[in-house]
Chain A
C-alpha cells in the first residue's frame, strides 16, 4: 500500500539558516504533490503545488523540488525566521479525488 514519510517529527534550526524538510513516498507515483503549513490548533494553509513534470517550484523564500525517480520531495525555507515555526505537511496525490497527507514535520526556528 502507499506510504508517505516525512523525514522527522521535529526539526530545530537557527534563524537565518535554510530549513530543508523531506517527504518520501513509496509504492505509487503521484501526478502532483502539495505542501501545507499548520499552526497548533488551526487548519492547514496551502503553500505550494508541484506537478510531476516540474522539477522545482519557488514562492518567495520557499522552494519545492519533486524527484519522481527518488520518489521524494524536498521543501526548503531560506533565511528562516521564528515566524516560520510551524508544522509542515506533505500531501501527494492519492488518487482521482484524494490526497495522502504525511504526519508532518514540526519546525522550530531559534532566534
Chain B
C-alpha cells in the first residue's frame, strides 16, 4: 500500500547526542515536510523540500538538519544544538505543495533523558 513510513515510533536520547528520524514515502510525491508537535501548540514546520537535492528552512529550523538525496526519503537529524528536542515529530508529503492535501506519517516521539 502507498503511504509514508516514519521510524522509529519511539526514541530516547541522552543530552548531547544527535539522532536521525527516518521518513520514507512511496506515493511518488515531490514535496516532503517535517513538522514538530508540542502539547498546546499547533504543528510547526521545521524543514520542507519540493524537489530532490533542494530543501528550505521552515519556522523552527534551528538545531535540525535534513537531506533529500532521493525522492522517496527525507531524513531529519535532531542535533545537540536543539535546546528542547523532546516532541512528537511528523513527516508529510504532497503532490502540489501546501495547496493540496498533506499525507502524514504516524509520527516519531523523541524523548531526551
Which residues of chain A have a CB within 8 Å of any CB of chain B?
4, 32, 34, 36, 41-46, 49, 89, 91, 93-94, 97-104
Contacts and interface: CB of A to CB of B under 8 A. Distances in A.
Contacts, number: 56
Contacts of A34: 101-102
Size class of the contact patch on chain B: 20 to 34
Given A43-B106, A49-B100, A103 B41 contact: yes
A50 B65 CA distance: 33
Interface string B73-113: 00000000000000000101000011111111111010000
B58 interface: yes
A43 B104 contact: yes
Contact of B97 (A46, A97, A102): A97
A23 B25 CA distance: 31
Contact of A43 (B45, B90, B97): B90
A42 B107 contact: yes
Interface in B30-72: 35, 40-45, 48, 50, 56, 58-59
A103 B37 CA distance: 9
